[in-house]
Amino acid sequence: MSPDQENNPAKAPLAPPPGPGVASPPVDEPTSPVAPPPPKPSQQGPAAVTPTGAPTGAPPEAMAQQGEYLTTSQGARLRDTDHSLRAGPRGPVLLQDHHLREKITHFDHERIPERVVHARGTGAHGVFVANGKASKICRAAFLGKGVETPVFVRFSTVVGFRGSSDTVRDTRGFATKFYTSEGNYDLVANNIPVFFIQDGIKFPDIVHAAKPHPDTEIPQAQSAHDTFWDFVSLHTEAQAHVAWQMSDRAIPLSFRMMEGFGIHTFRMINDAGETSLVKIHWKPHQGVHSQVWEETQMTAGADPDYHRRDLYDALDAGAYPSWDLGLQVMPDSPDETFEGIDLLDPTKIVPEELCPVQVVGTMVLTHRPTNFFAETEQVMFNPGHLVPGIDVTNDPLLQVRLFSYIDTQLTRLGGPNFSQLPINRAHCPVNDMFRDGFHQHAVHGGVAPYRPNSLDGGNPAEADDDSGAFIDVPTRVEGAKVRELSASFDDHFSQVTLFVRSLSPVERQHLARGYTFELGKCYEESIRTRQLQCLANIDADLCAEVARGLGLPVPEPTIPPRADVEPSPALSQVGERWPVIGRKVAIVVDATSSPADVEGIRQAVIDAGMVPFVTAPSGGRLGEVVVDRTFLTAASVEFDAALLVTSPEPAPDAVPTFDAKAGQSTTGLPVDPRVVKLVAEMFRHCKAIGAASDAAPVLAAAGVPEDAPGVVSGEPAALVAELVELLAGHRVWERFPATA
Ligand code: HDD
C-alpha cells in the first residue's frame, strides 16, 4: 500500500476481481487532490428566484465542480477513470460501462459552433466607474456619479476562425457587458468607427465575401483575396470601412491600445424625458498604437496568441488597462443630422473637431476569466440589451442587428436559455416569465407565469417611470413601405477622403502599402482596376501610388474632386504623447552583465510603469534576477524597446559561470547572432534602443548607427528616462520611411 493510500483509506485497492487475469496495480494520483477553487464573486450571478421572488435555494456556486472525489455527472464516486470495463484484460469493452459512455459522450459534444463572425476572442473582467457627467442627458443608473459597475469585455477579430492568429489585418470587436443595477447593458462595438454596409440585410453578403473562398477555404483570417475586393469595389458604401481596414487601425499593437466605437447613433433620455442623439467612444489611456506590417506577419508565426497573451501578461503584471467612456452629444433634431452628416448612416463619423468627445466614466480591466469556455466562449452580446435611458435609432444596420444577435445564440448556445449562463446573468433580479426550453437551469416556483394573474398574487408587477421601467421613446414613424435608403446615404466617398487626408505622412504611406499588398493578392485584374476606380474618387495621390505598385493605369475620377474636405486631426494616431504604462522592455543581458546593474534597470523599468523582460542566453537566474526570456524564446516583436546590458568586457560582478554552455555569448566570444537579429529587427521597426554599457559591437553587427534617432546610450537610470520619452511617441517616426 502506498503512503498516499495509507493516509486516504478511500484509495485503498479493492480485492482482486474474481476470475482469471491479474488486476493492474493501483496507480497513485500524480498530485493529492484539493478542493477546487470557488468561482470568483464576479462570476456569480444572483441566485435564481421564483416568479414571486423567493429564492430557489440553489447558490450560484452550486454549478461549479465541488468535492474532493472524482464522480460521475450524477455524483457517484468513481474508483478508476483510466481503464474501461472489459471482459478480461485482453477482452472487448462492455456496453454496460456507464461511466465510459457518459465520459465519451460528453467529450463528443464538448465543442459548440463557433461564432459565425468574431469567432476568435479574448475576455477580461473589470469595473466601470461613472463620473456623473452623463446624467444631464441620460438617466441610466450606471452613468450616475461614482456608480461602480462590473463589466466583462470580449475583444475579437472578425473574419478568422477560432484558432486563427491574433495579429491579422482585420477589424477588431470590442464588446462590453455592463452588469448594471437596472439590467445588463451591452455596448457591442468595434475598433473602427464606421461599418462596411448601411443596411443589415447585406451582412451575410459582406461576410460571405470576406470569409475564405468556398472551394478552397483559403485564405484564413484575411481580406487579401478576390471575393472581398469584388464585393467592396461593387458596394462603394464599403469604401469608408475599407480605408480604415487598410490603415494601421486594423493591425493594433494590443487590445489595450485600441479605441472602441459604438458606430451607430443612439438616443439617450434624461430624467426630464429630454432626448439627445449620441455616439459612444472608448478612449484607451494606453494610447492608440499599431504594429507595423512586417511585425504582424512575424508575430503571427512567433506567437499567434500575441494579443491574448499581451492582455493577460499586462493583467498579471498589475498594468491594468483602462479606457475612458466618451460621448458625442448632438441635438435630437427631426432630420437626425448634425452639421450635414446623416446620423443614421453607419458609414459616417462625426469629426471630433465638430463635436468633442466628453468623458463620462472610466473602465479598468482587472482580471482574466477563470475558465475560457464558460466565460469568453459562452458570453453573448446583443445591441438590444439596453437599460432605461438608452434607446435605439432607426439606423438600418442597427435595426437588423437587433434581430440577429439573439437569433444566432439559439444555434450557438443551443437554445433560448443562454441568459441563465453565469457569465450572461444579470446582476439584478430577473423575473421574465420565460419558462422551459433546452438547458433550463432555474427551478421556478409559482403556477402563473402570465399576466395578469390572481393565482401568484398578481406577481410580477409591471414597472412605470417611477419604478425604473425601460423607456421606448415615442418617436414619430411615417412613410411608405419601401426597399430603399434615404438619398443622404448616397455619398460614399467624401468621408473616405476626409480620413485619408487626416493621416500623417507615415500613416498614409502605410495605407498605400496596405491597399497595394491586398490588391496584389487578387488574381482578377478587373477587380483591382475597379478598386483603383474607387480610390480615384477618394484621393488622387493615394490612387496613383497604389496603381504604381500594382503596375496598372491610374483611372480618372468619376466624381468631382473634393477640395473642400477638412481633415480631422483626431483621426491620426501619430503626433500625440502617451503614458507608457504596460509598455514592454527587453533587458538583454549576457555573461558580461552586472547582476546589480540588471536588477537596478529592471526596477527602474517597473517604477516607470513598464513591464521588463530580462532576456538572456539561457534560462534560470542571473545572480538573483529571474530570466524571463531566453535568446531562443524571445522575439523582437514582443517588445516595444530594448535595453542592452552587454559589453565587450565583463562587469566586475559578472557571473562567470552564467550560460557557460552558450558559447557565443560567453565572455570574450563574438556577440550572439540572436541578439543581433533582435536588435536589427527592432531598429527596422523604429523602436527605441538603449545601450546601458558599451554595446557598440552588438549595434555594429546589427547595422545600427550609434547616433541614429532613437538609439540612446548612457547610465542605466538616465537610459530608462530616455526610453520613457521615446515610447511616449510610440515609435521613432523619424526612422520611417522604412521597409516595414
Ligand atoms: Fe455583429 C458578433 C460588432 C454589425 C451580426 N458583432 C459581433 C461581435 C461584435 C460585433 C464586437 C462579437 C460579440 C462577442 O464578442 O460575442 N457587429 C458589430 C458592429 C456592427 C455589427 C460594431 C456594426 C455597427 N453584426 C452586425 C450586423 C449583423 C451582425 C449588421 C447582422 C445583421 N455580429 C452578428 C452576429 C454575431 C456578431 C452574427 C456573431 C456572434 C454573435 O453575434 O453573438 O449575430
Cα 218 to Cα 216: distance, rounded to the nearest angstrom: 5
Beta partners for residue 736, in sequence order: none
Ligand 1 neighbour 175 (Cβ under 6 A) = yes
Nearest CA to ligand 1 atom 26: 401
- Can you give the pTM of this predicted structure? 0.90
Which residues fall within 8 angstroms of residue 249, CB to CB, at 6 or more apart? 191, 192, 290, 573
Q: Report how far apart the first and last C-alpha atoms of the chain are (Å, whole number).
A: 64
CA atoms of 229 and 526, how far apart (whole Å): 10
* Mean pLDDT (whole number) for 577-603: 91
* Cβ atoms 589, 600 nearer than 8 A: no
Helices marked H in 247-365 — which ranges?
Answer: 293-302, 306-316
The answer for 414, left when phi > 0, alpha when psi is -120 to 50, beta otherwise, is: left
Asked whether the predicted pLDDT for residue 593 surpasses 90, the reply is: no
Domains and CATH numbers, the chain: 121-198+250-423 (2.40.180.10), 584-735 (3.40.50.880)
Q: Is residue 391 scored above 50 in pLDDT?
A: yes
Question: What pLDDT does 737 receive?
Answer: 65
C-alpha cell belonging to residue 486: 434615404
How far is Cα 75 from Cα 147, in angstroms, rounded to an integer? 42
Atom 12 (ligand 1) nearest CA: 118
The Å distance, Cα 276 to ligand 1 centre, comes to 25
Helices (H), 579-715: 595-607, 673-684, 696-701
Residue 285: active-site member: no
698-721 pLDDT, tens digit each: 899 999 999 999 999 988 778 999
Q: Per-residue confidence at 19, pLDDT binned at 50, 70, 90?
A: very low
The Å distance, Cα 573 to ligand 1 centre, comes to 26
Q: Residue 397: CB within 6 Å of ligand 1?
A: yes
Mean pLDDT (the chain, rounded)? 89
311-326: pLDDT as tens digits: 998 998 888 999 999 9
Our mutation pick for probing the ligand 1 site, out of 255, 349, 385, 401, counting the most ligand atoms within 8 A of Cβ, is 401
Q: Which residue has the higher pLDDT, 562 or 194?
A: 194
- In the chain, the amino acid numbered 509 is Q
Ligand 1 midpoint to CA 267 (Å):
20
DSSP element (H, E) containing 244:
helix 239-246
Could you confirm whether 510 is annotated as catalytic?
no
The DSSP code for 553 is: P
Most informative mutation of 115, 259, 347, 402 for ligand 1 (most atoms within 8 A of CB): 115
Q: What is the pLDDT of residue 42?
A: 46
Is residue 378 within 6 Å of ligand 1 at its C-beta? Answer: no
- Tell me the pLDDT tens digit for each residue of 605-635: 999 999 999 999 889 998 889 999 999 999 9
Measuring from atom 9 of ligand 1, which residue has the nearest CA?
173
Range with lowest mean pLDDT among 306-310, 437-441, 442-446, 714-718: 714-718
The best mutation among 405, 408, 413 to test binding of ligand 1, ranked by most ligand atoms within 8 Å of the C-beta, falls on: 405
Q: What pLDDT is attached to residue 64?
A: 62
121 lines ligand 1 (CB under 6 A): yes
Measure the CA angle with vertex 357, ends 351 and 362; round to 5°. Answer: 145
Does the beta carbon of 153 lie inside 6 Å of ligand 1? no
Residue type, 537: N
Which of 99, 125, 131, 190 is an active site residue?
190
- Residue 38: predicted pLDDT: 54
Q: Please give the Cα distance from 530 to 699 (Å, whole number).
A: 46
CB proximity list for 610: less than 8 A, separation 6 or greater: 580, 581, 582, 583, 584, 585, 640, 723, 724, 727
Does 54 score more than 80 pLDDT?
A: no
Ligand 1 and 152: CB distance under 6 A: no
Query: For ligand 1, atom 42, which residue shows the shortest CA distance?
Result: 405
Annotated binding residue at 489? Answer: no
Dihedral (CA of 86, 92, 94, 99) sign: positive
Q: What is the ipTM of this complex?
A: 0.99
Residue 715 is predicted with a pLDDT of: 82
- Better-scored residue on pLDDT, 546 or 738: 546
Tell me the backbone φ, ψ of residue 4, rounded to 5 degrees: -60, -40
Q: Which pLDDT band, with edges at 50, 70 and 90, does 647 fall under?
A: confident
pLDDT single digits (tens) 204-230 = 999 999 999 999 999 999 999 999 999
CA distances from 256 to 118, 226, 510, 608 (A): 18, 32, 21, 18
Residue 405 alpha carbon to ligand 1 centre in Å: 7
Residue labelled with grid coordinates 462596411: 196
Distance (Å, rounded) from C-alpha 682 to C-alpha 688? 8
pLDDT of residue 623: 86
The finding on whether 611 has its CB within 6 A of some atom of ligand 1 is no
**What is the residue type of 166?**
D
Q: Any binding-site annotation on 577?
A: no
Q: Is 203 annotated as a binding residue?
A: yes
Beta carbons of 677 and 687 less than 8 angstroms apart: no
